[in-house]
Amino acid sequence: MTTVTPEPLPTERPRGCPFDPPSGLRDRPRLSRMVYADGHVGWLVTGHALARSVAADRRFSSRHELMRLPVARAGFTGPLPPATPGMFIGLDAPEHTRYRRLLAGKFTVRRMNTLAERVGEITAECLDAMAAHGPGLDLVPVFAQAVPALVICELLGVPTDDRERFQRLAEAANDLDAGLEETQAAMEELGGYIAGLVREKAETPTDDLLSDLTTGDLSFEELVTVGTLLLGAGLDTTANMLGLGVFALLTHPDQIPVMREGPEAVEKAVEELLRYLTIAHTGVRVALEDVELAGQVIRAGESVTIAAQAANRDPEKFADPDTLDLRRDSAGHLSFGHGPHQCLGQQLARVELRVALAGLFARFPTLRLAVPADEVPVRRHADIHGVHSLPVTWDGE
């Protein structure tokens, strides 16, 4: 067996391939030693089957205070503070399960499907605004960010007037180049706003998710944290999936007609875009005990980085993985993660992506990039992959 020297997590995407995982990542074996930001020597998983089994194995923890950071955040190498009450993404069962039980009913497939019509109306409003502006604009603010922001604000019961402020704060929270103080200030500002809103909803409930939650058994502190998490997650993720997704489609124009072939084709297409782009590309777990994995022993306390973007391009799971093929069966991709922490809002994201992308390409059949593909500014160093802007144009009416 060959011994591979522990290396840091590769983060540099290959030049001219904005949709591909960092090239160094593809060269790593499915399980290898990795040096973390603070010098900890842990592990890196790139294989699909292994990534799945680590994410689902309850001997691996998601607790923030146990976790080592795969890469430094503006010089900050960790450790992270323990999750505060309500910060369910950094907790294990049974605490985590309690939050999931309180929240999962709000995001069921059935409930999200009933939102499709409203998402369609919101999308149509954004597309109307594009048409009114005329050909030649940046698609990110008017479409990619606008649709998910309007949807999550309406669902939670957050006034949309302050939308641009939230957008900036959520972006700051996911930017690895932003200073820690900047990130924390952004989170605190968002939290402060949500706190005011939670107080209002508790006093005068309205017909929305946040009001609904105030009648349950979450404390005020928990409500603020959960509300901030849901708003933050709903803003930045789907927005980047839409921006990067449209970019991918415009650079693969032979695939675009699939988006006009009806709901079933669009459902499959969205799963393939999720797989191919894997915007939430990295997750971390920590062994709570010694665990044998693929012939190696992960010692208790060692961190394991799950490179979902590599796992989703594992040729053992997906044939010809570097090809974007909207007709393929992409079920089983790890773009929403796997295991008990799999994305709570994934069914909402699916509905938004299907409705918004199908709507866009139906309304603007001649949509195309307004600049050469290599001039589209791509996020280089962020927890969530995406584009900063997407200049597009189309044939005017």
Indicate the SS3 state at residue 252.
coil
Tell whether residue 347 is a contact of another protein (CB under 8 A): yes
Decide whether 214 or 347 has the Cβ nearer to another protein: 347
Region of 102 on the Ramachandran plot (φ > 0 left; ψ -120 to 50 alpha; else beta): alpha
- The one among 64, 350, 354, 379 contacting another protein by CB under 8 A: 350
Decide whether 15 or 101 has the Cβ nearer to another protein: 101
Tell whether residue 332 is a contact of another protein (CB under 8 A): yes
Tell whether residue 343 is a contact of another protein (CB under 8 A): yes
- For residues 63 and 90, the answer to whether their CB atoms sit within 8 Å is yes
Decide whether 153 or 351 has the Cβ nearer to another protein: 351
- The one among 82, 105, 192, 365 contacting another protein by CB under 8 A: 105
- The one among 2, 75, 101, 319 contacting another protein by CB under 8 A: 101
Tell whether residue 104 is a contact of another protein (CB under 8 A): yes
Cβ at position 8, least distance to another protein in Å: 29
Indicate the SS3 state at residue 33.
strand
Annotate 295-328 with b (16+ C-beta within 10 A) or e (fewer).
eeebeeebbbbbbbbbbbbbeebbeebeebbbeb
- The one among 56, 71, 195, 265 contacting another protein by CB under 8 A: 56
Decide whether 134 or 332 has the Cβ nearer to another protein: 332
- The one among 59, 106, 163, 252 contacting another protein by CB under 8 A: 106
- The one among 97, 251, 389, 393 contacting another protein by CB under 8 A: 97
Tell whether residue 49 is a contact of another protein (CB under 8 A): no
Cβ at position 14, least distance to another protein in Å: 30
Tell whether residue 234 is a contact of another protein (CB under 8 A): no
Strand ranges for the chain from DSSP E: 7-8, 31-35, 41-45, 60-61, 137-138, 282-287, 291-293, 296-298, 303-307, 368-369, 391-393
> 277 — phi, psi (to 5°)?
-95, -30
Query: Near another protein by CB under 8 A, which window of 79-87, 96-104, 154-162, 293-301?
Result: 96-104
Closest of 247, 261, 230, 192 to residue 106, by C-alpha: 230
Tell whether residue 285 is a contact of another protein (CB under 8 A): no
Tell whether residue 108 is a contact of another protein (CB under 8 A): yes
Cβ at position 147, least distance to another protein in Å: 21
Tell whether residue 346 is a contact of another protein (CB under 8 A): yes
Decide whether 111 or 199 has the Cβ nearer to another protein: 111
Contacts of 285 by beta carbon, 8 Å cutoff, 6+ apart: 54, 55, 60, 61, 62, 67, 303, 304, 306
CB atoms within 10 A of CB 214: 19
CA separation (Å) from 285 to 9, 174, 223, 333?
Answer: 15, 19, 26, 18
Distance in angstroms (rounded) separating the CA atoms of residues 106 and 197: 19
- The one among 109, 124, 180, 294 contacting another protein by CB under 8 A: 109
- The one among 55, 324, 355, 367 contacting another protein by CB under 8 A: 55
Which token pair is 25?
């990542």
Contacts of 185 by beta carbon, 8 Å cutoff, 6+ apart: none
Query: Near another protein by CB under 8 A, which window of 101-109, 228-236, 283-291, 315-323?
Result: 101-109
Contacts of 59 by beta carbon, 8 Å cutoff, 6+ apart: 287, 288, 289, 291
Tell whether residue 339 is a contact of another protein (CB under 8 A): yes
Indicate the SS3 state at residue 303.
strand
Contacts of 184 by beta carbon, 8 Å cutoff, 6+ apart: none
Cβ at position 347, least distance to another protein in Å: 5
Cβ at position 381, least distance to another protein in Å: 28
Decide whether 73 or 333 has the Cβ nearer to another protein: 333
Q: How many residues bind another protein (CB under 8 A)?
A: 28
- For residues 360 and 337, the answer to whether their CB atoms sit within 8 Å is no
Give the binding site for another protein (CB under 8 A).
Answer: 55-56, 97, 100-101, 103-111, 331-332, 336-344, 346-347, 350
